[in-house]
Structure 1
Amino acid sequence: MRGVQKVPRNFKELKPAYGFDDVSIAPGDITINPEMADLTTNFDGIKLEVPFLAAAMDAVVDPKFAIEMSRAGGLAVMNMDGLHTRYEDTTPIYEEIAAAPREEATVILQKIYSEPQKPELIATRVEEVKRGGGTAAVSFVPQNAKRMAPLAVEAGADMIVVQATVVTARHSSKSLKGLVFSELIKEIDVPILVGNTVSYEVTKELMQQGIHGVLVGVGPGSVCTSREVLGIGIPQVSATIECAAARDDFYKETGKYIPIITDGGIRTGGDVCKSFAAGANAVMIGSPFAKCEEAPAHGYHWGMATWHSSLPRGTRIKMGTEYSLHQLLYGPSSRTDGTLNLVGALQICMGYVGAENLREMNKARMVYAPAVKTEGKIYQAAGLGS
């Protein structure tokens, strides 16, 4: 129309992002026997026979579980900001949490976690794991890492994990001097993993600081409600692809290969396989491990932000105790839902893709396929599966 001037508009761009249920892995042009698939992964000299990490959550990991996970070939990360540094004997605490009425659970968790931390218990927990022959990996929130990580290393810790809901290489605060990862790395001589993030830029900046691994994922965990309460997060497949691109570019520029770990939202062997196809070097899992006989919380699980004094962002869930750690990782499985024998699922998938190791698995072709779980499944949809 003449005389009408077009007004430029600057619309916010919304890009699609994909989770595990949105994608599928394409079979490879060649196949290999599953037993040929090498599942080992390495964090600056710490070699894992299977690329599975148990999440740094009190309901999942205590010293005994950490020892058993090491024996199984993986790694369990023990939280040093939770129960294990607040109570010398955690057994009655776990029992109190399990016995709490549902409507009172969050309040009781807040009360339990209001107990002051006791830094001297850091060495106690590390030594318990080491005495049992386990690899001692411990986690701290950023505000505690600078002060407490050296205590853990002095006691014999093999790995430090610095973890929060969202971590950046540059954090601004009016109240305290932020943690500088390059400075922390100079102070301790064990691998440092840092998370969580979902972006290319942050992943690359963290790697430039000299850290040894990046945890990927904001809010996908089954007992995490950060996405509902705070509205933040990116689905795990897209997040992993983006962070893997940063890792690969950093490797091309520096010759240093820094692994990334897809952390959260993983329920089945299919989710595990999709994590590696998206670019992961390892996966960190919480809820499935909480259901293990070896887990300390009697079949309950809760998010580590549940007890936050001003804004609880998690919930206690009764998961039940359903299987052993060995069954979860290695089977045998009597289920058809993919929730057991996660190691076997990964090996078989790598066989179909033709990937002899995890870095080859990272190259697997993926497709957007929202119908992949329902196509042709008329009998399962009708509830006729056994």
Structure 2
Amino acid sequence: MNIEIGRGKSARRAYGIDEIALVPGQRTLDPSLADTKWQIGGIDREIPIIASAMDGVVDVRMAILLSELGAMGVLNLEGIQTRYADPQPILERIASVGNHEFVSLMQQLYAEPIKPELIELRIKEIKAGGGIAAVSGTPAAASKYGQAVAKSGADIFFVQATVVSTAFLSPESIASLDLTQFCQEMPIPVILGNCVTYEVAMNLMKTGAAGILVGIGPGAACTSRG
């Protein structure tokens, strides 16, 4: 259904996962026959769950625990974990602050620069604990830290932004990331996202990515959705 939004402009109604009901098929299955195993980028998992690359969701310990349980946790390479050597006190400050002070605190905390040595350290900590080192960064971070991430022993790289496409327009002074070249040059599997249309999904698949992320943001916590 098209919705008029201005002079000669219209938008198509889109739906989120929480708006869609899954209808049972004609056949049912005994639980003993169900198999939840899956594979992505040559990595086998028991449970089809990928924990969001958010500071409030995945840290080194959680990434290791999810790996042990058969799922996967993705560490945000541009968050608290790679800006502070000891992220725990920082997370406690975030958890204790009120709604009115939250924005200013986050601006202050994220003004701290990302430290490449902490990226390497977090990846090695996950690997040392027996976990799958799945990490996430924006296209800009992928361009800057991609090769270092691979050399540090990461298993899979998620290139994520609110929306990712192969046709990104940027100022002449800023070189945009060539997703096809990046996927070909990275020695580890690359996941690209997010996308919401068939055309963009197909274009991302053609880059050689091991997988794509469909939808916008991590769910109800996403500011873009609001």
Taking structure 2 as the reference length, what is the TM-score of the superposition? Answer: 0.91
- Percent identity over the alignment is 43
Residue 143 (structure 2) pairs with residue 146 (structure 1): yes
Paired amino acid for 1:168: S
Structure 2 partner of 1:96? 93
The worse-fitting range, judged by mean Cα deviation, of 72-81 and 18-27 is 18-27
Instruction: Give RMSD over aligned pairs.
Output: 1.7
Map of 1:107-146 to 2, 5 A cutoff? 107-146=104-143
The 1:20/1:162 distance shift into structure 2, 3 A limit, reads closer
Paired amino acid for 1:40: K
Taking structure 1 as the reference length, what is the TM-score of the superposition? Answer: 0.54
Map of 1:171-182 to 2, 5 A cutoff? 171-174=168-171, 175-182=173-180
The structure with more radius of gyration:
1
The 1:223/1:20 distance shift into structure 2, 3 A limit, reads closer
Residue 220 (structure 2) pairs with residue 222 (structure 1): yes
Residue 35 (structure 2) pairs with residue 35 (structure 1): no
The 1:16/1:184 distance shift into structure 2, 3 A limit, reads closer
Structure 2 partner of 1:186? 184
Q: Show CA shifts across 1:158-182 (max 9, x none).
A: 0000000111012111131110112
**Whole-Å separation in 2 of the counterparts to 1:67 and 1:207:** 29
1:12 offset after TM fit, Å? 4.8
The 1:43/1:20 distance shift into structure 2, 3 A limit, reads closer
Residue 193 (structure 2) pairs with residue 202 (structure 1): no
The 1:131/1:18 distance shift into structure 2, 3 A limit, reads same
1:221 offset after TM fit, Å? 2.1
Secondary structure of the residue that 2:158 maps to in structure 1? strand
Q: Show CA shifts across 1:338-361 (max 9, x none).
A: xxxxxxxxxxxxxxxxxxxxxxxx
1:219 offset after TM fit, Å? 4.7
1:11 offset after TM fit, Å? 5.7
Count of residue pairs brought into register by the alignment: 219
Q: Which has the higher contact order (CA 8 A, sep 6+)?
A: 1
Map of 1:2-13 to 2, 5 A cutoff? 12=9
Residue 74 (structure 2) pairs with residue 77 (structure 1): yes
**Whole-Å separation in 2 of the counterparts to 1:115 and 1:198:** 32
Any unmatched runs of 5+ in structure 1? 1-9, 229-386
**Whole-Å separation in 2 of the counterparts to 1:21 and 1:96:** 32
Higher strand share: 2
Map of 1:1-386 to 2, 5 A cutoff? 12=9, 14-174=11-171, 175-219=173-217, 221-228=219-226
1:220 offset after TM fit, Å? 6.4
Q: Show CA shifts across 1:203-258 (max 9, x none).
A: 11111111111111125622222134xxxxxxxxxxxxxxxxxxxxxxxxxxxxxx
Q: Show CA shifts across 1:125-179 (max 9, x none).
A: 0000001000000011101102202111111100000000111012111131110
Any unmatched runs of 5+ in structure 2? 1-6
